[in-house]
A and B are shown apart, each in its own frame.
Chain A
C-alpha cells in the first residue's frame, strides 16, 4: 500500500574510510511501503553486484506481487499476512538470480549479500533479514533490536559460549552463517510487528554496529529524533570517526501517522447489516 504520507524516510550509504568500493546498497519504495538494505560480499566488484541485484529484484518482484494481493489478509496455514508470503517469494527470486549469476560468471563466483528489509503495510511492519544487517526500533526513547544476526558470534552468544562483553573482543565478528545468493536456497527470517505512530526504525549494515555500540545509537536517536537526516548523518559520522573500517549504511524510517487499510463503505454496511 502507498504509505508516502505516513512515513518519513532518510537513507544514506557511505563507503567508509578504508574501502575503495561501496558494496552496500540501500533503497526505498513508498508506493509499496518498502525499505531495503543489503551488504554485499565478494571479490573485486562482485559484492556490489550481489547487493544491487538483491535490491532491484526484490523491489521489482514485490511491486508486481503486491498489486495482486488483498491488503491485510492473513493466510490461515502460516499465520502470516499475504504480504509476508510475497516478501519471502521476492527474496527467493533474488536469491535465485544472484546464485545463477555467481554460478555462470567466474568473476562473480561466491558472491553473496546480507539483507534487511522492512515492509510497512496496514499499521504493521513485516521485517525480514538474512545475515548480520540489522533492524532496530526506537519507541518512547528506547532502542530495541528486532533482528537477531545470523552470525557465528550470535550462535556463540546464544549457546552461552561467550558473554556479550567477551563478544566485543571476538575475532569472529565478520563470519555470517546465512547469506543471500550463496546457495540455491535461502531462508528469510520473517516477523511481523505492530507499528505505532512516533516509532523510528533503523536499518543498518554491520559497518555501523561493529563500531558504534547500541547505547550510542540510542543516544543519537534520542537526541536528534526531531531531525532524522541529521541523526542518520551523525550515525555515519560516528562510524567513520571510529575508524570507518567498512561501508556504512543506515536507513531511518519515522512513522508520522497511522496507515491502516481504509475499508470501503460497503464493507462497513455489510458488517452493520450482519
Chain B
C-alpha cells in the first residue's frame, strides 16, 4: 500500500498509509493530516485513493499545493512525488508501483482482473462491503495491491465522494503539548537521528507481503517523477538504438535525396508496383516486402518475402531505384 512520509526540512515527522478512499489535508484539526501552519488553508487538499492510484486535488487553498515544485490543481501521484505545503513536505511512496515499473511489470500483477460493484458480488463471497477483485491467479496474487485498498466502483463515478465524517483525525503532533509549529519541530528533532535512517530504510524495504525483489534499486529521484514512473508509458520513439538509420537515394529522379528512418516503420517504393517497409526494432532495422511481384534486392541479392536485417552501407534496389542504407550515430 502506498504511504505518505511527512517531514519538515528533511526531518521525518510521521507517516500515513493511504488506506482510505479520501484523506483530507489542512490546518483545521479535523483533517486526516493536520498541518498546523498559517501557510496552510483550513481545508487545503484531498487525496483520493482508488485501487493502486492516488489522486491529489487542491480544494481551493489560498497558497496552492506544490508537487515537485510545480503548482497543481489535480495530480495523479507517482512514486517519489514530493507535495509541499509551506515548509512541510509529504513524500508519496508506492514501492509496488515503482517495482512494477522497474521490472517492466510483474506478470501476476499485470494480469487482467475483474473489478465490480459490491452489490453484484455473489452472496458466497466474504467481503460484502468492499469491492471484489477476483484475482484469478489466486495462488500468486499479491493481495497487498488488490482487495484491501479497493473502494466501491460506484464511488468513482461522481469523482469525489461525499465528505467522510472524520472520526479519527490524525494530528501530527507527536507530543501532547505540540500544537504549535515550534514545539512540533522540537519534538521531531529528538527523532531525527533515528528517523532519517529509519525512513530511508523503510523506503528501501518492500512491503512485508511482497517477496524481496532482487536488486531493483528503488532509488527514486524526485526531480523527474515521470522518468522513473515505470508504469511503462508508451515511449518507444527514443528507444534502444542510438544509431539512427538513413536512406540515401542513389539513382533515378530523386537521386541524392535523404530520408531519416526515425519512425517505427517507413514504406518505400511505388504503390501498385513495388513497395517495401523498413521497420525500426530494438535489434536494428529490417526490410520487408509489402507488395509487388518482385522482392527487394539487397546488395544484388533478392531478400525474399521475409524480413531481412539491414547492415550499414547495404544497397537496396526497389522498383528500379537504388538506394543506400546507413547508420548515423547521433551525438
Interface residue? B114 (CB, 8 A): yes
A77 to B159, CA, bound (A): 35
CB distance from A221 to the nearest CB of B (A): 11
Contact residues of B between 15 and 56, Cβ < 8 Å to A: 48, 50-53, 55
Interface residue? A194 (CB, 8 A): no
A176 to B113, CA, bound (A): 6
Contact residues of B between 145 and 190, Cβ < 8 Å to A: 153, 156-159
A230 to B278, CA, bound (A): 12
B265 touches A183 (CB 8 A): no
* Interface size of B as a range: 35 or more
A175 touches B133 (CB 8 A): yes
B153 touches A155 (CB 8 A): yes
Which of B83-91, B104-112, B250-258 makes up part of the contact surface?
B104-112
CB distance from B143 to the nearest CB of A (A): 14
B115 touches A46 (CB 8 A): no
Interface residue? B3 (CB, 8 A): no
A219 to B100, CA, bound (A): 29
CB distance from A246 to the nearest CB of B (A): 6
The DSSP consensus for interface residues of chain A is loop
A220 to B112, CA, bound (A): 26
Interface residue? B136 (CB, 8 A): yes
A174 touches B110 (CB 8 A): yes
B114 touches A179 (CB 8 A): yes
B53 touches A155 (CB 8 A): no
Which positions in A face B, CB cutoff 8 Å?
A: 18-19, 39, 41-43, 46-47, 110-112, 114, 131-132, 152, 155-156, 159-162, 166, 168-179, 182-183, 206, 211-213, 216, 219-220, 223-224, 226-227, 230, 234, 237-238, 241-243, 245-246
7 A-B pairs with CB atoms under 8 Å apart are A47-B136, A170-B53, A172-B50, A174-B110, A177-B153, A206-B112, A220-B265
Which positions in B face A, CB cutoff 8 Å?
A: 48, 50-53, 55, 76, 78, 94, 96-97, 100, 104-105, 107, 109-116, 120, 122, 133-134, 136-139, 153, 156-159, 226, 229, 231-234, 236, 263-267, 271, 275, 277, 279, 281-282, 288, 290-291
